[in-house]
């Protein structure tokens, strides 16, 4: 935990330096708190301090409540849903979860089920349903094989109004980065209701920014695939989300081998071939789901999956350190190491409906 805290602190310093740029006359209010298991940084521009303080307090309450609501392995609304699913009976879903389940089903189908928040049992089996993963042997092969064969998917969930039933008792919801993105989207909506038009909300480096930073774009650092140092900087202006899924974010080491938390639902093991994926998209929920799906898809299939999800700006670092990018992302990023090996994909044009 100490090493993780120090790493977050170092990255926070880099973020602050990148965002600082030239001194601005417009006051910028900043706040920091904990939610979604990570450090949350909020920057608000262009409102008086009293308004900014009220907005910050409201957003802190929002995100902490959403973290409790969406927690996969502690008591709360999502925990209740996960308790009821194995019964095979219909039950009333907490109203706050209905839209996130519906949208999760759509995103799972659009990603060929590589984004699959129904595999919470697999994630728990690997020991990632803990605040700090333990260094332990991988799960028994037979247990992994059983869950892979059971093939829990979001399509196993059947909504009828406010009633939910699952035809697969091995479904257990773990929303991951998608849940964090959903919470960030709701918080940005609340900021706008409070009169804030220029702000950035970052949770563990995943963020959504609206407006500008006193007339200047928000400058966002992207970590290297292994988590050490900064690979690139992205400028964001208007309304965009920037999310990253990486193998260094949550893992454990056993007998010299590192096992990370991004599980491939097709194999039941941590996905291979990718170090990190960064996506720019309009909403944070889709960006969070997309980074997970594209990480699992890997360097061979990410382009097809991104097209199905309707995302255009993608940067993927494979296991060799090669950076794969869509042309639109290449136009947005400033790589800090000019010797980086780059592979540009064909343009990402969203797949036709149906």
Tokens of 174: 């773990």
Give the separation between CA 114 and CA 99, rounded to whole angstroms.
Answer: 20
Residue range 120-178, pLDDT digits in tens: 999 999 999 887 788 889 999 999 999 999 999 999 999 999 999 999 999 999 999 99
Residue range 102-123, pLDDT digits in tens: 999 999 999 999 999 999 999 9
Other CB atoms closer than 10 Å to residue 205's CB: what's the count?
Answer: 22
Q: What is the pTM of this model?
A: 0.90
pLDDT at 6: 45
Nearest to residue 270, comparing CAs of 288, 254, 287?
A: 254
The SS3 assignment for 349 reads coil
Give the separation between CA 64 and CA 78, rounded to whole angstroms.
Answer: 14
Give me the residue spans of the domains in the chain: 1-354
CATH of 1-354, one of 3.10.520.10, 3.40.50.720, 3.10.20.90, 1.10.3720.10: 3.10.520.10
Residue range 236-293, pLDDT digits in tens: 989 999 999 999 999 999 999 999 999 999 999 999 999 999 999 999 999 999 999 9
At residue 28, does pLDDT exceed 70?
yes
pLDDT at 31: 97
| DSSP β-bridge partners for residue 247 | none
The SS3 assignment for 242 reads strand
Give the separation between CA 289 and CA 105, rounded to whole angstroms.
Answer: 11
The mean pLDDT value for 78-89 works out to 96
């Amino acid at each position: 935990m100490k090493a993780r805290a120090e790493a977050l602190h170092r990255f926070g310093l880099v973020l602050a330096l990148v965002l600082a740029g030239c001194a601005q006359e417009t006051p910028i209010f900043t706040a920091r708190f904990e939610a979604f298991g990570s450090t949350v940084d909020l920057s608000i521009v262009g409102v008086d301090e009293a308004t900014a303080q009220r907005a910050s307090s409201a957003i802190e309450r929002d995100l902490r409540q959403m973290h409790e609501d969406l927690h996969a392995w502690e008591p709360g609304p999502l925990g209740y849903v996960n308790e009821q699913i194995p019964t095979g009976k219909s039950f009333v879903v907490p109203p706050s979860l209905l839209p996130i389940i519906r949208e999760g089903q759509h995103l799972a189908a659009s990603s060929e089920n590589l984004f699959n928040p129904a595999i919470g049992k697999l994630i728990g089996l690997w020991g990632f349903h803990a605040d700090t993963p333990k260094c332990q042997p991988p799960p028994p092969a037979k247990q992994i094989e059983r869950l892979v064969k059971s093939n829990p998917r979001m399509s196993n969930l059947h909504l009828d109004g406010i009633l939910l039933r699952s035809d697969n008792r091995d479904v257990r919801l773990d929303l991951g980065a998608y849940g964090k993105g959903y919470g960030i989207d709701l918080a940005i909506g609340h900021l706008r209701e409070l009169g804030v038009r220029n702000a950035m909300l970052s949770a563990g480096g995943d963020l959504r920014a609206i407006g500008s930073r006193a007339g200047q774009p928000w400058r966002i650092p992207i970590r290297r695939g292994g988590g050490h140092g900064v690979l690139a900087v992205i400028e964001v202006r208007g309304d965009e989300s920037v999310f990253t899924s990486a193998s260094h974010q949550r893992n454990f080491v056993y007998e010299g081998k590192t096992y990370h938390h991004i599980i491939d639902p097709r194999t039941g093991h941590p996905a291979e071939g990718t170090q990190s994926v960064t996506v720019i998209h309009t909403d944070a929920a889709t960006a969070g789901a997309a980074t997970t799906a594209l990480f699992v898809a890997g360097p061979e299939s990410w382009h097809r999956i991104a097209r199905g999800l309707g995302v255009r700006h993608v940067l993927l670092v494979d296991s060799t350190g090669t950076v794969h990018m869509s042309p639109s992302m290449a136009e947005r990023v400033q790589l800090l190491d000019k010797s980086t090996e780059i592979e540009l994909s064909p343009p990402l044009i969203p797949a036709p409906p149906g």
